[in-house]
Amino acid sequence: MKVNLAFSTTGLTAELPHGFDYRVLEARSALPLRDVPGAIERALDEPIGCAALEEIASNRKTAAIAVCDITRPVPNRLTLPPILKRLERAGIGEENVTILIATGLHRAATQQEIDEILGSEIASRYRVVNHNARERDEHSALGETSTGTPVFIDRRFIDADLRITLGLIEPHLMAGYSGGRKLVAPGLAGQETIKVLHSPRFMRGPRAIEGSIENNPLHEELLEISALAGHDFICDVAMARDRSIGGVFAGAPVEAHRQGWKFVSSTLLETLARPVDAVITTAAGYPLDLTFYQAIKGITAAAHIVKQGGRILLAAGPANSLT
- Kindly name the residue from 131, 139, 172, 231 that is annotated as catalytic: 172
- Kindly name the residue from 106, 139, 219, 257 that is annotated as catalytic: 106
| Residue 273 CB contacts under 8 Å (≥ 6 apart), including other chains | none
CA–CA gap between residue 59 and residue 173 (Å, rounded): 38
Q: Which of 203, 190, 118 is nearest to 151 (CA)?
A: 190
Contact of 186 with 268, CB cutoff 8 Å: no
Residue 257 bears catalytic tag: no
Residue 231 bears catalytic tag: no
Q: Which of 171, 64, 73 is nearest to 127 (CA)?
A: 64
Bridging pattern class, strands 63-68 and 12-15: unpaired
CA–CA gap between residue 95 and residue 183 (Å, rounded): 23
| Residue 237 CB contacts under 8 Å (≥ 6 apart), including other chains | 74, 75, 79, 167, 168, 169, 245, 246, 247, 248, 249
CA–CA gap between residue 283 and residue 280 (Å, rounded): 11
Distances (CA, A) of 54 to 28, 41, 92, 251, 254: 35, 11, 10, 12, 19
List, in sequence order, every beta strand (DSSP E) within 103-229.
127-130, 139-144, 150-154, 162-168, 171-172, 176-177
CA–CA gap between residue 222 and residue 180 (Å, rounded): 9
Distances (CA, A) of 83 to 42, 144, 245, 301: 12, 32, 17, 34
| Spacing of C-alpha 179 from chain mean position | 4
Contact of 160 with 191, CB cutoff 8 Å: no
Residues acting as catalytic residues: 106, 172
